[in-house]
A and B are shown apart, each in its own frame.
Chain A
Amino acid sequence: AQSVTQPDIHITVSEGASLELRCNYSYGATPYLFWYVQSPGQGLQLLLKYFSGDTLVQGIKGFEAEFKRSQSSFNLRKPSVHWSDAAEYFCAVGFSGGGADGLTFGKGTHLIIQP
């Protein structure tokens, strides 16, 4: 079965510093990869997605992610974080031909921004 690992449960970053959130997935087929953000008490909002093509994808709010097939990774980055980036971040994966049963989500990384 497919799985997604987000190894960091919590990450604390100073405002203005750079950020990298890690995501690894299992399974051998071509992945469809997503990063979602969830602010407290809110639903999930898509930050960016990768289906094919350029392995560096740009998203909203200044985020980017890079797909590395050799490492089965899809890490999320931002060069300079803002206090408003404090939230829960979820990596998710689906696979072409994997059925209609939605995406598999990681357990999330809670981002804390220090002033």
Chain B
Amino acid sequence: NAGVTQTPKFRILKIGQSMTLQCTQDMNHNYMYWYRQDPGMGLKLIYYSVGAGITDKGEVPNGYNVSRSTTEDFPLRLELAAPSQTSVYFCASTVSAPGELFFGEGSRLTVL
């Protein structure tokens, strides 16, 4: 009964470092999404994928990259971390679009 699992839950990065946020789902959903949440701003879409091998940019893709080699996994890579990337990141999936999104518990990232 795992659903959408994100790791790590918390991470502190120094400016210029890189890291990957992991996301995996066990519901066989084709559609997967990465959002970032900033206080008072709601959720903004970073990248999304409609299936293995297919990804596309969302509203705020700069500074991020994604890949989708399997149906289950959708990692988000941050290259050259900047303070503006301090945020809470949520991975979500759905069986069809538009449809109910199933969210992970989030990854809180701080860039100092």
Contact = CB atoms under 8 A, between A and B. Distances in A.
Interface of A: 4, 9, 32, 34, 36, 41-46, 49, 90, 92, 94-96, 98-103, 105-108
B53 interface: no
Contacts of B41: 107
A105 B98 contact: no
Interface residues of B, number: 25
A49 B94 CA distance: 14
B42 A44 contact: no
Contact of B48 (A36, A100, A108): A100
Interface of B: 4, 31, 33, 35, 40-43, 45, 48, 50, 56, 58, 90, 92, 94, 97-101, 103-106
Given A4-B42, A46-B101, 6 more contacts: A34-B101, A44-B92, A94-B97, A102-B48, A102-B101, A103-B101
A100 B50 contact: yes
Contacts of A90: 42-43
A71 B92 CA distance: 30
B42 A101 contact: no
B42 A96 contact: no
Contacts of A9: 40
A105 to B, nearest CB: 4
Given A102-B33, A102-B58, A108 B98 contact: no
Nearest to A93: B98
Nearest to B57: A101
